[in-house]
Amino acid sequence: MLLIAAVASITNSLYNHLSSGLVGLGLTYALMVSNYLNWMVRNLADMEVQLGAVKRINSLLKTEPENYEGLLSPSQIPATWPQQGEIQIQNLSVRYDSTLKPVLKHVNAHIFPGQKVGICGRTGSGKSSFSLAFFRMVDTFEGRIIIDGIDIAKLPLQTLRSRFSIILQDPFLFSGTIRFNLDPERKCTDSMLWEALEIAQLKPVVKALPGGLDAMVTEGGENFSLGQRQLFCLARAFVRKSSVLIMDEATASIDMATESILQKVVMTAFTDRTVVTIAHRVHTILNADLIIVMRRGVIVESDRPEVLLDNEDSVFASFVQADK
């Protein structure tokens, strides 16, 4: 509009020297230039959006790859490790990048074999970072985690991550059969898979499907409800026979009935296994053997739930009161 107004003003001041044809031609070109400017701005904006992918790829090319090789050879790692599930966390400090501040600071904890541990805290307290440290998904620049006498920093990544089980807030199933989702390495018999489904209270659901264990799962498990997908993940964790199970806010997205089933299965089927639960709702960890309360990357309280609840000034007691 400014361009057209400028052309109109110039032609008005020179009306004695310009013919009407030239004035019309000038205004026509001014309108065309406005359209071209609109087209140019739209394409520049689209190019800026598309270059975001190029920027992301460029940043990924500069990212250092994970060190999959460990200091220990496969022959030095027992085939049954971890067998007991004893976890010792010694002066652990964790950060997401060498240029960022630590999200866990000098954390110390001792989790005995078979203990059920609940970790709680407000958003940003470091709960999920605590669970990621077990899989070396974040930079552990100080301290160490020792599980059954072996420092996990010395293990090859594939070995480390294949020996633990984790259930995330957003359950995920792979495209394929139910059998493949429960046992992708095909190490279990049908009776073992049915047992896992019965424990997760999914046996009637799977039996009703055409094909049973060979029934197909659509992409992302969309042919099952969110609660059923979470229970499938629980059955998969049971099949793996891992001595350490980590539940990262696993009950945050499911209904109360499914949450009750999941909690019951954990307390019964995983009695002899170490379970670390990152709590979304405090009442889900009231039956734990040990409660760890975190704030800004440090442990502020650590004790049995009944001991913490007896202290009305404890942070955990305030969480329980707020959750009622």
Token pair in block for residue 140: 């552990």
Token pair in block for residue 153: 């920093």
Contact 8, 29 (CB under 8 A): no
**pLDDT classification of 20: cutoffs 50, 70, 90:** low
Whole-model pTM over 0.85: no
Give the least confident one: 5-9, 112-116, 184-188, 299-303: 5-9
Burial of 44 (0-12, 13-18, 19+ CB in 10 A): exposed
Average pLDDT rounded to a whole number, residues 82-94: 91
Q: Closest Cα partner for 119 from 105, 104, 131?
A: 131
pLDDT of residue 107: 92
Q: Closest Cα partner for 102 from 65, 139, 127?
A: 139
216-to-102, 193, 201, 221, 236 alpha-carbon distances in Å: 43, 15, 19, 9, 16
Token pair in block for residue 165: 């089980």
Beta carbons within 8 Å of 68's beta carbon, 6+ residues apart: 156, 157, 158
More confident: 270 or 50:
50
**pLDDT classification of 79: cutoffs 50, 70, 90:** confident
**pLDDT classification of 112: cutoffs 50, 70, 90:** very high
277 sits in the region (left: phi over 0; alpha: psi -120 to 50; else beta) called beta
**pLDDT classification of 94: cutoffs 50, 70, 90:** very high
- The amino acid present at 100, given as its one-letter code, is L
Average pLDDT rounded to a whole number, residues 266-273: 82
pLDDT of residue 19: 65
Beta carbons within 8 Å of 128's beta carbon, 6+ residues apart: 248, 249, 278
DSSP 3-state of 248: strand
